[in-house]
Each structure stands twice: as structure tokens, then as C-alpha cells.
């Protein structure tokens, strides 16, 4: 997850920075083309949402992470997740320009960002399909459990048997306080004092953590995933 301090994720300003006049560089066709392309990419997000995508995802930049994703989804499972300080809101993840995984998405993936201040996971499994073979990671299957602080996951699917303590639904993402992560203003969100999920299963595109402890870590290649 992001960091222990409040983090506000805002859209990139495509027109920020020095102007050609200030830098002394001539304003040529290539520069104007880049500016127009960036502006079009930003404007395309609310246009697509207005066309009928999930209403919860109403703004660009609601990200729990700030790096270019590979565009390859990975599966995460755990028999049990316990956490304190929970937040959840919608957003967009972006692939590196020209990524071969972008397909017809334009390199953007609609995600739900989940942030947990402190998390404990039992029998964690993570796998990614590399094209016929899976990179398979397991941890926390013994007496010691996987622990994480400032954990964020950007997911397209999440399932399990969940229970929340002190939950608030319908918050503006810019006002969240439970996990130290803030989304952009105007985005639907929810937060809770505690979260418990049994039989957790996620399809993720990104994960970050301040500290991630993986006792009993095993990494291998496998014919099957989690």
C-alpha cells in the first residue's frame, strides 16, 4: 500500500511544465501532437464512464499505486484475511506506453483499490500465468502468518465471505481516514475500522505495501495457478 501518511492521488496535468517560450525551444508539430494526445487521453476517461461504465469510477487518478502496470493480471488467494483500517474506492491503472498487453483497452484498466493499514493473511498464494507456465508463490502456511502494513491492491475481481466493523459506505474518496490513503474528490468509496474476509480470492493488477513479511516463502514454476 501506499504510505503511512495521507496520500492524495490526482490526475496528471498534461499541460503542466515549462512552455516553449519559457524554455526557448520552438513549438513544432511533434510537441503539439504530444500535447493533444495527452489531453485526449485524459478527456476519454470521463467520456467512457458517462457512456455506461461503473458509476463508482467517476474520476481518473484514484490509484493506490503510482507505477506503470505490466497489464498481466495475477491471482491472489488466502484462507483468511484480517485487517484494521480499511478503505476501498474505484480508479484506473495505466500500462507503459506501447505495452503489448494493452489490447483494445488503450493501456487502461478499471480497478477497485483496497487499502488496509495493517493486515494478516493465512496461507497466501499468488500466481501469474506467463503463457503456459505459472509463477507460483506461497507463504504463511505455518504458525507464522503473512503480515503487511500500508497494503494496497488494485483488483478487477474480489470474492470471499466478508465482515466489516464500523463501516461507512458512500464516502467521498478524498475524505477517507482509516488507512491513510485518499482518492480524488467526487469518487464513491467506503471505509471501515476492521475487515475480515474468509476464502479470499482476487484478480489483481498491482499490489504495494510499506512492509510485507512472508514467512515460509516458496517460489516455483507450476502448471497450475492458485
Tens-digit pLDDT profile for the chain (226 aa)?
433 334 444 444 444 444 444 444 445 554 444 444 444 333 333 333 333 333 333 333 334 456 899 999 999 999 999 999 999 999 899 999 999 999 998 999 999 999 999 999 999 999 999 998 999 999 999 999 999 999 999 999 999 999 999 999 999 999 999 999 998 899 999 999 999 999 999 999 999 999 999 999 999 999 999 9
Any idea which residue has 476492521 for its cell?
Answer: 194
- How far apart CA 25 and CA 53 sit, in angstroms, is 41
Give pTM, 2 decimals: 0.72
Contacts of 160 (CB under 8 A, 6+ apart): 81, 197, 198, 199, 200, 201
Interatomic CA distance for residues 167 and 179, integer angstroms: 13
Q: How much is the pLDDT for 42? A: 37
Q: Grid coordinates in use for 205?
A: 493488477
Q: At a CB cut-off of 8 Å and minimum separation 6, what does 184 contact?
A: 8, 9, 10, 11, 59, 60, 61, 62, 173, 174
Count the Cβ atoms, other than its own, within 10 Å of residue 59. Answer: 23
Closest by Cα among 207, 180, 175, 179 to 195: 179
Cα angle 178, 199, 187; round to 5: 35
H or E segment to which residue 176 belongs: none
**Whole-number pLDDT of residue 66:** 64
Provide the pLDDT for residue 28.
52
Q: Position of cell 504495494?
A: 208
Amino acid at each position: 500500500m501506499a504510505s503511512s501518511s495521507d496520500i492524495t492521488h490526482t490526475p496528471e496535468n498534461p499541460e503542466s511544465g515549462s512552455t516553449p517560450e519559457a524554455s526557448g525551444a520552438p513549438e513544432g508539430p511533434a510537441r503539439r501532437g504530444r500535447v493533444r494526445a495527452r489531453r485526449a487521453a485524459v478527456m476519454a476517461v470521463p467520456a467512457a464512464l458517462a457512456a455506461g461504465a461503473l458509476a463508482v469510477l467517476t474520476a481518473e487518478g484514484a490509484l493506490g499505486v503510482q507505477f506503470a502496470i505490466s497489464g498481466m493480471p495475477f491471482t491472489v488467494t488466502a484462507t483468511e484475511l484480517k485487517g484494521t483500517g480499511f478503505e476501498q474506492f474505484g480508479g484506473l491503472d495505466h500500462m507503459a506506453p506501447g505495452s503489448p498487453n494493452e489490447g483494445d483497452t488503450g493501456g487502461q484498466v478499471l480497478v477497485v483499490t483496497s487499502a488496509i493499514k495493517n493486515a494478516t493473511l493465512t496461507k497466501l498464494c499468488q500466481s501469474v500465468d506467463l503463457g503456459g507456465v505459472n509463477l507460483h508463490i506461497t507463504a504463511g502456511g505455518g504458525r507464522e502468518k503473512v503480515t503487511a502494513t500500508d497494503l494496497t491492491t488494485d483488483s478487477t475481481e474480489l470474492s470471499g465471505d466478508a465482515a466489516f466493523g464500523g463501516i461507512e459506505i458512500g464516502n467521498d474518496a478524498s475524505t477517507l481516514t482509516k488507512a491513510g490513503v485518499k482518492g480524488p474528490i467526487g469518487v464513491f468509496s467506503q471505509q471501515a475500522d476492521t475487515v475480515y474476509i474468509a476464502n479470499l480470492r482476487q484478480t489483481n493488477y498491482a499490489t504495494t505495501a510499506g512492509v510485507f513479511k512472508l514467512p515460509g516463502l516458496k517460489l516455483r514454476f507450476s502448471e497450475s495457478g492458485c
